[in-house]
């Protein structure tokens, strides 16, 4: 009799253990974890104006949608001008441009004003030369830097290893530049150089280099992530991105990144086959001291 009770209790314990493990496994599989994201939007203005053009309404709606999905999301709205006119006037104008964007997000789209910070830099931080009309147009801008968390579901699915994945460079789906140990200025149009000073990706000299205008309009030149792990999970760069290390930052704003000649050559060879650059499938990993 005692033996039957012992075996019966053992069976119950085993069943309960399996049930608990299954329950925990299911819970983990459905667990939502945060991915930290940084996304930059840009609005350009006419000379001396702070009014937002209608073509930017979709971007404004995207910002509001991001901030609605994540109640902890914040945005820094940075206003700039070209160098035409007096510096004092331009400083005031750049702040007005930033405030104009904030007002639109708050009054038209219901974003909480407390989560929006505005700064006016005047003409002090140009992204292009003010010597040309095109450059001045790009400098008359507001950059909206949105930081938020995107929830992802942890899956139990196991991805099988196939022959296609035997090479780390097979079927490259994007590019990640790891600049996490450098101070990088978050910008709408960063450039990636090789050691010889050649631009392999970006918008230097008002030219599209390695990318297309359509992809810039749709997703922007690059995305930024706060660490390498998040960058690898970001759908923008796909399931098998090429990862290279930044050597240094260059330019007046420290927005451009230099990579080794060897990595640059590797990127260009892979681009011929997989075309990830022209689709703007590029992400930059930045550190905590990034501006």
Q: What's the CA gap between 73 and 289, in Å, rounded?
A: 19
Which of 169, 172, 197 lies closest to 260, judged by CA?
A: 197
Per-residue pLDDT tens over the stretch 136-146? 998 999 999 99
Question: What pLDDT shows up at residue 85?
Answer: 92
Q: What's the CA gap between 282 and 241, in Å, rounded?
A: 9
Q: How many whole angstroms from its chain centre is CA 248?
A: 19
Phi-psi region of 157 (alpha: psi -120 to 50; beta: other; left: phi over 0): beta
Question: What pLDDT shows up at residue 122?
Answer: 95
Kind of pairing between the strands at 199-201 and 141-153: unpaired
Question: What pLDDT shows up at residue 31?
Answer: 53
Question: Is the CB of residue 142 less than 8 Å from the CB of residue 77?
Answer: yes
Question: What pLDDT shows up at residue 233?
Answer: 84
For residue 180, give the DSSP letter: T
Q: What is the largest CA-CA distance in the chain?
A: 99
Which parts of 23-173 are beta strand (E)? 32-44, 74-79, 116-120, 141-153
- State the DSSP H helix or E strand holding residue 229, giving kind and residue range, or none if neither: helix 228-233
Question: What pLDDT shows up at residue 239?
Answer: 87
Order of strands across the sheet with 116-120?
A: 116-120, 74-79, 141-153, 32-44, 223-225, 282-286, 174-179, 241-250, 256-259, 192-193, 199-201
The dihedral formed by the CA atoms of 214, 284, 36 and 148, expressed in degrees to the nearest 10: -50
Question: What pLDDT shows up at residue 35?
Answer: 62
Per-residue pLDDT tens over the stretch 173-185? 999 999 999 888 8
> How many other CB atoms are found less than 10 A from the CB of residue 197?
8
Question: What pLDDT shows up at residue 106?
Answer: 94
Question: What pLDDT shows up at residue 163?
Answer: 41
Question: What pLDDT shows up at residue 241?
Answer: 92
Kind of pairing between the strands at 174-179 and 74-79: unpaired
pTM reported for the whole predicted model:
0.53
Question: What pLDDT shows up at residue 80?
Answer: 95
> For each successive 10 residues of the chain (291 residues), what is the average pLDDT?
52 50 48 68 92 90 90 92 94 96 94 94 89 90 88 49 44 92 87 91 82 81 87 87 93 87 91 89 81 59
- State the DSSP H helix or E strand holding residue 15, giving kind and residue range, or none if neither: helix 2-29
Three-state DSSP class for residue 45: coil
What structural domains and CATH numbers belong to the chain? 33-153 (3.30.1330.60), 163-286 (no CATH)
CA atoms within 13 A on the CB side of 216: 15
């Amino acid at each position: 009799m005692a033996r039957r009770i012992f075996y019966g209790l053992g069976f119950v314990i085993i069943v309960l253990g399996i049930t608990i493990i299954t329950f925990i496994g299911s819970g983990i599989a459905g667990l939502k974890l945060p991915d930290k994201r940084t996304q930059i939007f840009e609005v350009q203005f006419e000379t001396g104006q702070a009014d937002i053009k209608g073509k930017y309404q979709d971007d404004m709606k995207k910002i509001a949608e991001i901030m609605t999905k994540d109640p902890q999301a914040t945005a820094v709205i940075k206003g700039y001008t070209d160098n035409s006119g007096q510096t004092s006037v331009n400083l005031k104008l750049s702040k007005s441009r930033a405030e104009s964007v904030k007002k639109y997000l708050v009054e038209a789209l219901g974003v909480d004003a407390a989560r929006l910070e505005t700064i006016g830099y005047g003409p002090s931080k140009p992204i292009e030369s003010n010597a040309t009309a095109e450059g001045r147009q790009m400098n008359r801008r507001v950059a909206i830097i949105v930081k938020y968390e995107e929830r992802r579901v942890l899956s139990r699915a196991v991805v099988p290893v196939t022959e296609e994945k035997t090479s780390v460079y097979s079927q490259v789906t994007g590019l990640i530049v790891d600049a996490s140990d450098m101070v990088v200025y978050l910008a709408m149009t960063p450039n990636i150089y090789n050691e010889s000073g050649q631009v392999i990706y970006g918008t230097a000299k008002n030219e599209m280099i390695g990318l297309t205008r359509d992809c810039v309009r749709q997703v922007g030149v690059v995305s930024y992530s706060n660490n390498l792990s998040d960058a690898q999970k970001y759908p923008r760069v796909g399931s098998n991105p090429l990862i290279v290390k930044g050597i240094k930052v260059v330019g007046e704003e420290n927005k451009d990144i230099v990579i080794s000649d060897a990595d640059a050559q590797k990127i260009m060879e892979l681009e011929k086959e997989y075309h990830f650059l022209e689709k703007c499938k590029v992400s930059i990993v930045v550190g905590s001291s990034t501006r």
